[in-house]
Amino acid sequence: MQRYFIEPGQFEAGEVRILGDDAHHLARVMRAEPGDRIICSNGVDREVLAAIREVGKSEVVADVVEERVMSGEAACGVWIAQSLPKGDKLETVIQKCTEIGAARFLPFQSERTVVQYDGKKEAKRVERWQKIAKEAAEQAHRSRVPAVDSPFTWRELMKLVPEADLALICYEKEGALQLKRLLGGFFADKRGIAPGGGSGDAGRVLLLVGPEGGFTEKEVSEAEAAGCRSVSLGKRILRTETAAMAALTCILYESGEMGE
């Protein structure tokens, strides 16, 4: 069953209106007909099952059949802070980590980031990243679309660390602290919290991943001073675009999202 994230204003008394690309997808690609059922969510606090009534060229109208409990969200909100990688690797990180259950993406520039981001010229890139998150969330049957921020500077990112209940900097040279022990302690008193609502009841985890060239020792020290724990993801060196997926999966697994 197709799922669409729509603006709150597209929910009207007893009906929903699908517009723009979504209407085109429904009408032209899915060849929707009156009576077909779809799921619509405002991406925040409302999700409905609806039955299509009218299929137009630029608008599809559907009658609300029932209100649905918002599921599909993790109880632990994981923020992925990814140093801007080369090429389109960030799109891969956003797509895969949205499927797995990330709550937010915070691209950032660090000392060894090769890609320089020019906010004026490249606002379109953030729009494309957000579109990728929306499409991945629809495909994954999530109730929320993770937000994708415009890239932060390193300083700006450090100021956000206190907003997390647990902040991790993935550092391949970390010899002592292993992820499992750290997460075991953090989630010890949070297991059993019902996943799904995405309310973040099981806490907020900020995860920092470096660029292809890695973090400098100075950056790791600054991150630790800001409250991050330096953590190893094991003995193998992961590509920058692999590291977030691996760490996110471990975090959600340990939080109970994949069963107790």
Binding site for ligand SAM (CB under 6 A): 170-172, 209-210, 212, 214-215, 232-234, 236-240, 243
Neighbours of 85 (CB within 10 A): 22
**Interatomic CA distance for residues 84 and 251, integer angstroms:** 22
User: Least distance (Å) from ligand SAM to the CB of residue 26?
Assistant: 40
Q: Which is nearer to ligand SAM, 64 or 238 (CB)?
A: 238
Q: Which is nearer to ligand SAM, 30 or 253 (CB)?
A: 253
User: Least distance (Å) from ligand SAM to the CB of residue 89?
Assistant: 11
User: Least distance (Å) from ligand SAM to the CB of residue 164?
Assistant: 16
Backbone angles phi, psi at 18, to 5 degrees: -100, 130
Backbone angles phi, psi at 77, to 5 degrees: -85, 115
The SS3 of residue 7 is coil
Q: Which is nearer to ligand SAM, 145 or 252 (CB)?
A: 252
Q: Which is nearer to ligand SAM, 204 or 229 (CB)?
A: 229
Amino acid at position 207, single letter = L
The burial class, CB within 10 Å (0-12 / 13-18 / 19+), for 179 is buried
How crowded is the C-beta side of 56, counted as CA atoms within 13 Å?
9
Q: Which is nearer to ligand SAM, 71 or 232 (CB)?
A: 232
Q: Which is nearer to ligand SAM, 83 or 255 (CB)?
A: 83
User: Least distance (Å) from ligand SAM to the CB of residue 85?
Assistant: 8
Helices (H), the chain: 20-24, 89-100, 123-139, 154-160, 179-187, 217-226, 240-254
**Hey, what are 217's tokens?**
């020792």
For the chain, the residue count is: 260
User: Least distance (Å) from ligand SAM to the CB of residue 171?
Assistant: 5
The burial class, CB within 10 Å (0-12 / 13-18 / 19+), for 1 is exposed
User: Least distance (Å) from ligand SAM to the CB of residue 111?
Assistant: 11
Neighbours of 188 (CB within 10 A): 9
Rg of the chain taking only CA atoms, in angstroms: 20
User: Least distance (Å) from ligand SAM to the CB of residue 12?
Assistant: 46
Q: Which is nearer to ligand SAM, 201 or 217 (CB)?
A: 217
**Hey, what are 82's tokens?**
């990814």
